[in-house]
A and B are shown apart, each in its own frame.
Chain A
Amino acid sequence: KNQVEQSPQSLIILEGKNCTLQCNYTVSPFSNLRWYKQDTGRGPVSLTIMTFSENTKSNGRYTATLDADTKQSSLHITASQLSDSASYICVVSDQGSQGNLIFGKGTKLSVKP
């Protein structure tokens, strides 16, 4: 069964600190991996998209890594800000389906002053 597992489930950090969120997946065949940020009560917003041939991709203070061999990805947030408080969702595209993205449950990040 295609699955996307994220850890930790929740995380609290102080403003200005860095953090790393993890994603493991079993989706096969794999097309691409995405990280989304979802604020409470809002729709997800795309942060990064990586194909299997890409190892890292950055978007401002967000840097995603991908190891397609071990089927692991991470999202590193640098110099966190209060506005980074949100759920971060790892999403994997199943190559066998044009429309079906498989979402993880997300990591809920709280940045405290």
Chain B
Amino acid sequence: DTGVSQNPRHKITKRGQNVTFRCDPISEHNRLYWYRQTLGQGPEFLTYFQNEAQLEKSRLLSDRFSAERPKGSFSTLEIQRTEQGDSAMYLCASSLSGGLSNQPQHFGDGTRLSIL
């Protein structure tokens, strides 16, 4: 399968713990995006990378959240000192660059985070 891969698919943790998610994009895609989706809502933009550079961050990305894409390939999203409100599906997407006009974002199936 050459689509976007996210691991783990599910993560259950206690409040206050740190969690890290991984995203492997489609290999030739240089853009990588992170979104958060809660039940009944559409995804909300968190951040995106072009190659290894983090070019944009949403105000939703508090100081407890950090994302990296060290070699311009896979990316990790870490949440420190998790809170109940962090419970959500975390989606990763990748695309080619060259303007947004006709470049679809290909999504992974997400990591569902549940905070106890």
Contacts and interface: CB of A to CB of B under 8 A. Distances in A.
Contact of A99 (B56, B109, B110): B56
A25 interface: no
B45 A44 contact: no
Given A42-B109, A89-B42, A99-B45, A31 B101 contact: yes
A46 B58 contact: no
Interface residues of B, number: 28
Interface string A36-47: 000001111110
Interface string B74-116: 0000000000000000010100000011111111111000000
B48 interface: yes
B68 to A, nearest CB: 16
Contact of B105 (A31, A46, A102): A46
B41 interface: yes
B102 A103 contact: no
A31 B99 CA distance: 10
A93 B91 CA distance: 18
Q: How large is the interface on A (under 10, 10 to 19, 20 to 34, 35 or more residues)?
A: 20 to 34
* Most chain A CB atoms below 10 A, which of B47, B56, B100: B100
Nearest to B9: A41
Contacts of A46: 104-106
17 contacts: A34-B104, A43-B91, A43-B93, A43-B110, A44-B91, A44-B107, A46-B104, A46-B106, A49-B101, A49-B104, A98-B100, A99-B47, A100-B45, A100-B56, A100-B58, A101-B43, A103-B42
Interface of B: 4, 31, 33, 40-45, 47-48, 50, 55-56, 58, 91, 93, 100-110
Interface of A: 4, 31-32, 34, 41-46, 49, 51, 89, 91, 93, 97-106
